[in-house]
Structure 1
Amino acid sequence: MGKHTRNVLTVKAIAASKSVKLRDGGGLWLVTKGHGRYWIFDYRFARKRRELGLGPLHSVGLADARQKAEAARVLVRHGIDPIEHRHGVEAIEAAKAKAEVKAFGPYADDFIDAAVKAGRWRGAKTEAGWRNTMTVHAGPIREIAIAEIGVPHVLSVLRPLWGVKQETAEKLRERIERVLDSAKVEGLRTGENPAVWKGNLEHVLHKPDALTNTNNHPALPYSRVASFVKKLRCVDGMGARALEFTILTAARSGETRGASWPEIDLDGALWVIPAKRMKEGKEHRVALSKAAVRLLKATPRFEGTDLIFPAVRGGKISDMTLAAAIKRMHASELEAGRAG
Structure 2
Amino acid sequence: MSVRLKLTLSYAGFLMLAGVLLIVVVWVFLLRYVPNVAAVRTPAEMDPNQYVLLRGFASAAGTALVFLLVFGLLGGWILAGRMLAPLTRIRNATHMTADGSLSHRIRLEGRKDEFRELADAFDAMLARLEAHLAEQQRFAANASHELRTPLAISQALLDVARNDPNRDTGELVERLHAVNARAIDLTEALLVLSRAGQRSFTREPVDLSLLVEEATETLLPLAEKRGVTIDTSGDITPAVGSQALLLQMTTNLVHNAIVHNLPEHGTVRVTTSVHPETVVLTVENSGEKLPPQLVSTLTEPFQRGTERIRGNHAGVGLGLAIVKSITQVHDGSLTIIPRPAGGLRIAVHLPTVPADGQGRPGGAFPRNTGRPDS
* TM-score normalised per structure 1: 0.25
* TM-score normalised per structure 2: 0.23
Specify the structure having the higher radius of gyration (Cα). 2
Q: Which has the higher contact order (CA 8 A, sep 6+)?
A: 2
Higher helix fraction (1 or 2): 2
